[in-house]
């Protein structure tokens, strides 16, 4: 095992747990996403997923506090697990996300980073 794998965990152990903040699913995630190529890949996916969820909760004219409160009531959080260190945590950026909408739509595009997308593409090719 390399030093990097020892510290960060291997990519195969990394997953992103999508949590429903409304409590509809209790403490269990609504989704568990696996198949990331690296911790950086999982971190970027989780960050964009939370950013998108917050923007879904943002209404016209809402203050940063109102956006944050709406996200905590109705949004989805993402937890990166399987890495000893370096896993992204939403708490560090929630205030900034609530205060300012993203300048670039790419900041919300978690779908392009979804490792399941590659599997779906392969499945479609197999069916053709």
The tens place of each residue's pLDDT in the chain, 128 residues long, gives 444 444 445 688 899 999 999 988 888 999 999 999 999 999 999 999 999 999 999 999 999 999 999 999 999 999 999 998 899 999 999 999 999 999 999 999 999 999 998 665 555 555 55
Does this model's pTM top 0.95? My answer is no
Closest residue by Cα to residue 76 from 21, 17, 30:
21
Give dist(CA 114, CA 121) in Å, integer: 12
Helix or strand or coil: residue 72? helix
Give dist(CA 30, CA 53) in Å, integer: 14
**What would you report as the CA-atom Rg of the chain, rounded to the nearest whole angstrom?**
16
């Amino acid at each position: 095992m390399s030093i990097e794998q020892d510290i960060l965990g291997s990519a195969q152990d990394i997953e992103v747990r999508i949590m429903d903040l409304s409590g509809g699913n209790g403490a269990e995630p609504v989704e568990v996403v696996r198949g990331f190529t690296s911790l950086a890949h999982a971190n970027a996916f989780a960050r964009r997923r939370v950013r998108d969820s917050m923007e879904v909760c943002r209404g016209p004219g809402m203050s940063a506090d109102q956006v944050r409160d709406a996200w905590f009531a109705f949004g989805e959080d993402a937890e990166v697990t399987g890495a000893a260190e370096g896993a992204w945590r939403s708490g560090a950026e929630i205030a900034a996300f609530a205060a300012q909408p993203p300048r670039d739509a790419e900041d919300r595009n978690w779908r392009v980073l979804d490792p399941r997308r590659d599997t779906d593409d392969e499945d479609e090719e197999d069916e053709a």
